[in-house]
Amino acid sequence: ILGMFSELKFPVPWGHVAVKAWGPSEGHPVLCLHGWLDNANTFDKLIPLLPRDCYYVAMDFSGHGLSSHRPAGSPYHFLDYVSDVRRVAAALQWRRFTLMGHSMAFLFLSYCFMSPQFCFLYPEMVDKLILLENLGFLLAPEDTEAWLKSKRMVIDRLLSLEAKQQTPKAHSPEAALQRLLEANRHLTAEGGAILLQRGATETPAGLVFNRDMRVRTQSRESFTVEQCVKLLQKIQDRVLIIIAKDGLLVPHKLDSRNHFVKGLREAFESTLKEHIQLVEVPGSHFVHLNEPEMVSGIISNFLTAQNARPRL
Q: Do 57 and 101 touch, CB atoms closer than 8 A?
A: no
Strand order in the sheet with 170-171: 170-171, 206-209, 200-203
How many whole angstroms from its chain centre is CA 26?
Answer: 24
Residue type, position 153, single letter: M
Q: Enumerate helices (H) and strands (E) in the chain, giving the number of each.
A: 9, 11
Residue 131 near residue 239 (C-beta atoms within 8 A): yes
In whole angstroms, give the CA distance from residue 295 to residue 99: 16
Contact 118, 85 (CB under 8 A): yes
170 SS3 class: strand
Q: How far is CA 38 from CA 29, 108, 250, in A?
A: 22, 12, 22
Q: DSSP character for 223?
A: B
Rounded Cα distance between 249 and 255, Å, is: 11
CB 44 within 8 A of CB 289: yes
Could you give the CA distance from residue 70 to residue 211 in angstroms, rounded to a whole number?
Answer: 11
Helix (H, G, I), strand (E, B) or coil at 21: strand
- CA 187-193-196 angle, 5° bins: 105
Cβ pair 1, 53 in contact under 8 A = no
Query: Which residues have a catalytic role annotated?
Result: 103
